[in-house]
């Protein structure tokens, strides 16, 4: 097959994106973008706020903003729909997610390729993921990551490879891991906590191994970015202690506290990952999507006006503010999974705090959006309003530091029960955009 430049493919895809976008009304179904309840078809927030009838939409010249969606593979959250599907069915489901992203005028997919110390590519270091075949270590009969990169680029989409560095298993039984699993060959690397298994971030050999395993994918495939989510040290579990006494005794003596040592461990992972990416595939981005609260202002005057029960600096030992301020990463996507006006973590307050934090740095700021909450009857009443998510984008537009949004997650993009994503497209994504660089 003759090779076509990615620039040519991207232009063709962007040209196609300028057509009216069908939006799924249910999983697997498509249809026209619906008008928001109570609004005339084709009108959006910008049109309603302007005086006089709206004119034809003209996107700004060279519009660049992140319009992304996460595709989670852990526990078959988004894809594949269940383990053990035939390769052709797995591939078709993946391509459907990519096509749906294009129809919604998105430009980036963030695919989880190392959900739990495993792999969605033929890794020489870790076993094939159980979420593909139902059996960890069993070859799925195709190369999911290689296919995803190729097919995303053919559609003009960026493909960001999403890795979880330290999660080993969502259970606490090492014997359930594949016999060849590194965690079984090196049991001293593993800490059971909260009914799950984790690699110990305090061991330099663990950090070296997980970095080598992740960079293997970067060396093999032209991914556009390496992406971490919010899991570093695990979220606190009441009444339990993460037992890293041995590694702290061995490596933590130079630090004023265990907390400072743990933050150093995560900082080192971030810096070494950035350096490794530059070495293996220069030009590939490095982004992280942390929990949305660094610290509450009551804890630290530099923190946000929030009262969150979890603070990444103190509980996950992830100093996300420093990563942004010191330009250790190319982009940050704080997970602002609360509604506007939330009593303890107001989306508006957090958007302002992150804009101020990213201001004056080279770190691009995108905001993580809780699409999964829209229309969920178990969520607060604000999420029953299909306009809530669109309001987030309108509010964020006040801050030039906010360069776009990423939506969690692909399954909810397909279902869109409240029409919240359809409203976002109608109000904000009326033309194409390229990802920022």
Does residue 47 surpass a pLDDT of 50?
A: no
Provide CB contacts within 8 A for 346, sequence distance 6+: 305, 306, 338, 340
Band of the pLDDT at 68, cuts 50, 70, 90?
very high
Does residue 405 surpass a pLDDT of 80?
A: yes
Mean pLDDT value of segment 26-44: 30
Look at 39-43, 137-141, 182-186, 373-377 and tell me which has the smallest mean pLDDT: 39-43
Structural domain of 351: 63-165+201-428
Mean pLDDT value of segment 54-68: 64
In a domain, 283, yes or no: yes
In a domain, 423, yes or no: yes
Of 317, 293, 316, 314, which Cα lies nearest the Cα of 305? 293
DSSP class per residue in 148-198: HHHHHHHTT-EEEEEE-SSEEESSS-GGGS-TT-HHHH-GGGEEEETTEEE
Tokens of 242: 């993460």
Mean pLDDT value of segment 226-254: 97
Sheet strands side by side (includes 190-193): 167-169, 196-199, 190-193
Does residue 42 surpass a pLDDT of 60?
A: no
In a domain, 29, yes or no: no
* CATH number of the domain within which 235 lies: 3.20.20.80
Residue at token pair 């093999």: 220
In a domain, 247, yes or no: yes
In a domain, 220, yes or no: yes
Read off the pLDDT of residues 273-324 as tens digits, 9 standing for 90 and up.
999 999 999 999 999 999 999 999 999 999 999 999 999 999 999 999 999 9
Tell me, what's the pLDDT at 96?
A: 98
Backbone angles phi, psi at 350, to 5 degrees: -75, -35
CA distances, 3 to each of 11, 62, 153, 218, 368 (Å): 15, 26, 12, 21, 35
Which has more pLDDT, 139 or 10? 139
Identify whether the C-beta of residue 13 lies closer than 8 Å to the C-beta of residue 155: yes
Provide CB contacts within 8 A for 135, sequence distance 6+: none
On average, the pLDDT of the chain sits at 89
For the entire predicted model, the pTM comes to: 0.86
Of 266, 242, 230, 247, which Cα lies nearest the Cα of 194? 242
In a domain, 113, yes or no: yes
Tell me, what's the pLDDT at 11?
A: 35
Does residue 424 surpass a pLDDT of 60?
A: yes
d(CA 352, CA 418) in angstroms, rounded, equals 27
Tell me, what's the pLDDT at 228?
A: 98
DSSP state of 339: -
Mean pLDDT value of segment 239-250: 98
CA 266 to chain CA centroid, nearest Å: 18
Tell me, what's the pLDDT at 8?
A: 38
How open is the CA angle 361-68-163, to the nearest 5 degrees? 80
Mean pLDDT value of segment 319-331: 98
Identify whether the C-beta of residue 261 lies closer than 8 Å to the C-beta of residue 255: yes
Identify whether the C-beta of residue 287 lies closer than 8 Å to the C-beta of residue 406: no
- How many structural domains does the chain have? 1
In a domain, 436, yes or no: no
d(CA 33, CA 158) in angstroms, rounded, equals 24
Tell me, what's the pLDDT at 40?
A: 30
Query: Three-state DSSP class for 293?
Result: coil
DSSP state of 188: G
Beta bridge partners of 95: none
Tell me, what's the pLDDT at 350?
A: 98
In a domain, 7, yes or no: no
Identify whether the C-beta of residue 20 lies closer than 8 Å to the C-beta of residue 432: no
d(CA 437, CA 428) in angstroms, rounded, equals 20
Tell me, what's the pLDDT at 271?
A: 98
Band of the pLDDT at 39, cuts 50, 70, 90?
very low
Tell me, what's the pLDDT at 17?
A: 31
Read off the pLDDT of residues 345-365 as tens digits, 9 standing for 90 and up.
999 999 999 999 999 999 999
Identify whether the C-beta of residue 71 lies closer than 8 Å to the C-beta of residue 78: yes
Which has more pLDDT, 63 or 304? 304
d(CA 345, CA 304) in angstroms, rounded, equals 9
Tell me, what's the pLDDT at 182?
A: 98
Tokens of 322: 């420093």
Mean pLDDT value of segment 39-52: 30
Identify whether the C-beta of residue 324 lies closer than 8 Å to the C-beta of residue 345: no
Provide, rounded to the nearest whole percent, the portion of the chain with pLDDT above 90.
85
Tell me, what's the pLDDT at 63?
A: 84
């Amino acid at each position: 097959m003759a090779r076509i430049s990615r620039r040519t493919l991207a232009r063709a895809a962007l040209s196609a994106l300028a057509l009216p976008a069908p939006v799924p009304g249910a999983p697997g179904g498509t249809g026209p973008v619906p008008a928001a309840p109570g609004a005339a078809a084709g009108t959006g927030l910008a049109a309603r706020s302007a005086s006089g009838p709206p004119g034809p939409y003209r996107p700004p010249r060279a519009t660049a903003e992140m319009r992304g969606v996460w595709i989670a593979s852990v526990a078959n959250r988004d894809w594949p729909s269940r383990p053990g599907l035939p390769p052709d069915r797995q591939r078709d489901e993946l391509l459907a997610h990519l096509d749906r992203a294009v129809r919604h005028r998105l430009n980036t997919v963030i695919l989880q390729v190392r959900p739990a110390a495993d792999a969605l590519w033929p890794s020489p270091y870790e076993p094939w993921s159980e979420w593909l075949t139902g059996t960890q270590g069993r070859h799925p009969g195709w190369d999911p990551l290689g296919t995803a990169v190729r097919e995303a680029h053919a559609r003009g989409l960026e493909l960001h490879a999403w890795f979880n560095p330290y999660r080993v298993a969502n259970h606490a039984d090492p014997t359930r891991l594949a016999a060849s699993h590194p965690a079984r060959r090196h049991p001293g690397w593993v800490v059971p906590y909260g009914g799950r298994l984790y690699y110990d971030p305090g061991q330099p050999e663990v950090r070296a191994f997980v970095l080598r395993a992740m960079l293997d994918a970067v060396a093999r495939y032209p991914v556009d970015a390496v992406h971490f989510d919010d899991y570093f040290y695990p979220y606190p579990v009441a009444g339990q202690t993460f037992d890293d006494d041995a590694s702290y005794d061995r490596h933590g003596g130079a630090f004023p506290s265990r907390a400072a040592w743990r933050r150093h461990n995560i900082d080192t992972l971030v810096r070494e990952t950035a350096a490794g990416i530059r070495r293996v595939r220069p030009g590939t981005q490095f982004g992280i999507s942390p929990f949305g609260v660094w610290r509450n202002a009551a804890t630290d005057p530099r923190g946000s006006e929030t009262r969150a029960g979890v603070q990444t600096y103190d509980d996950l030992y992830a100093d996300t503010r420093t990563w942004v301020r010191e330009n250790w990463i190319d982009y940050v996507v704080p997970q602002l999974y609360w509604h506007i006006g939330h009593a303890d973590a107001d989306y508006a307050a957090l958007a302002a705090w992150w804009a101020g934090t990213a201001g004056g740095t080279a770190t691009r700021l995108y905001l993580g959006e809780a699409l999964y909450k829209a229309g969920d009857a178990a969520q607060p009443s604000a999420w029953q309003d299909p306009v809530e998510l669109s309001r987030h984008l309108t509010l964020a537009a006040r801050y030039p530091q906010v360069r776009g949004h990423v939506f969690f997650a692909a399954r909810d993009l397909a279902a869109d029960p409240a029409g919240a994503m359809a409203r976002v497209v109608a109000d904000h994504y009326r033309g194409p955009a390229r990802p920022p660089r």
